[in-house]
Amino acid sequence: MASAKILVVDDDPAIRNLIIRFLSQKNYQMESAHDGKTALAMFEQFNPDLVILDVNLPDALGYNLCQDMQRRTDVFVLMLTSRGDAADKDIGFKRGADDYLTKPFDLQELENRVGAILRRRREVTVTEQQRLIFNHLAIDPTRREVTLHDKLVPLTALEFNLLHFLACHPGQVLTRSVLIQEVWEYDYVGDQRVVDVHIGQIRKKIEIDASDPKLIQTIRGVGYKFEDPARENNDFS
């Protein structure tokens, strides 16, 4: 299998070069950019699997770049920033970030996060490849597409993985820790409310009324459950 391609976007040349030298030794294909304009041009040319993206750039906000890039492909995004408070992380995850690492950072931790994110590209089993149909909602894991009333639903890579995992276990209550273990695929040490943020984003895209969800239901104090509307005889039309 070809090595994964990683684009590093940071206006600090010392940080850029440090990450590139370190991850190049791990056999990743590396490219870099120092600002938003260059990053988008390199993104189109390089077609990376993962973008390590600084929040504060001279000509752009990393959150906006994250959204822009994920409108084009299902690229993974690791936000790398000096901003470490909960509000900033919440913004990043709502804009589609797959993970968030705060400066200063440990290179081994960076490698662990990168490896965990990229493992989400693993081959799926025959069962996982099956197209899931829930009335007007269709989830196609092979094409990594979700459609609602035959219209494509724009999901980030992480949102797709989370929705697909929930839908593969209809009627089963899944805790936040289980979802993090299965979807994030590593021992996430941050706030488990990151799950709530992504569930909220998915609901806005697939539920008739995100404030009264029928598909992804909250089990208070525990986690979430995906309900097959046909089995529950819900009207999802």
For residues 67 and 36, the answer to whether their CB atoms sit within 8 Å is no
- Tokens standing for residue 185: 């695929």
pLDDT reading at 156 higher than 90: no
Residue of 107 and 129 predicted with greater confidence:
107
Average pLDDT over residues 62-90: 83
Exposure of 72 by Cβ count < 10 A (0-12 exposed, 13-18 middle, 19+ buried)?
Answer: exposed
Average pLDDT over residues 109-137: 77
Pair (145, 209) in one structural domain: yes
Pair (16, 111) in one structural domain: yes
Domain boundary among 68, 87, 121: 121
For residues 28 and 5, the answer to whether their CB atoms sit within 8 Å is yes
Q: Which pLDDT score is estimated for 191?
A: 66
Winning range, highest mean pLDDT, from 72-76, 100-104, 137-141: 137-141
- The whole-angstrom separation of Cα 81 and Cα 54 is 5
pLDDT reading at 187 higher than 90: no
Q: Which pLDDT score is estimated for 235?
A: 43
237 within domain boundaries: no
Pair (183, 110) in one structural domain: no
Pair (141, 47) in one structural domain: no
Average pLDDT over residues 87-97: 79
Who's near 237: CB < 8 A, 6+ residues apart? 135, 136
How many domains does the chain divide into? Answer: 2
Pair (154, 216) in one structural domain: yes
136 within domain boundaries: yes
Pair (113, 147) in one structural domain: no
Q: Which pLDDT score is estimated for 140?
A: 92
Write the single-letter amino acid at 122: R
Q: Which pLDDT score is estimated for 142?
A: 83
- The whole-angstrom separation of Cα 188 and Cα 173 is 20
Question: Please, what is the Cα angle at 53 between 29 and 194, to 5 degrees?
Answer: 115
Pair (84, 114) in one structural domain: yes
Who's near 206: CB < 8 A, 6+ residues apart? 137, 146, 148, 153, 163, 215, 216
**Residue corresponding to tokens 């709530």:** 196
Q: How confident is the model at residue 1 (pLDDT cuts 50, 70, 90)?
A: very low
Domain boundary among 60, 92, 121: 121
228 within domain boundaries: yes
Average pLDDT over residues 148-153: 93
Domain boundary among 51, 86, 121: 121
Q: Which pLDDT score is estimated for 143?
A: 84
Q: Which pLDDT score is estimated for 185?
A: 65
Residue of 234 and 41 predicted with greater confidence:
41
> What DSSP line would sit under 42-75, residue for residue?
HHHHH--SEEEEESB-SS-BHHHHHHHHHHHS--
Pair (114, 152) in one structural domain: no
* Average pLDDT across the chain, whole number: 86
Lowest mean pLDDT among 9-13, 86-90, 180-184, 217-221: 86-90
The pTM of this model reads: 0.62
Average pLDDT over residues 107-118: 90
Q: Which residues pair with 76 in a beta bridge?
A: 50
Pair (220, 160) in one structural domain: yes
Instruction: Supply the range of the domain harboring residue 189.
Output: 127-232
pLDDT reading at 211 higher than 60: yes
Pair (105, 172) in one structural domain: no
- Tokens standing for residue 28: 């990743």
- The whole-angstrom separation of Cα 168 and Cα 171 is 10
Q: Which pLDDT score is estimated for 128?
A: 55
Pair (117, 179) in one structural domain: no
Q: How confident is the model at residue 73 (pLDDT cuts 50, 70, 90)?
A: confident
CA–centroid distance for 196 within its chain: 13
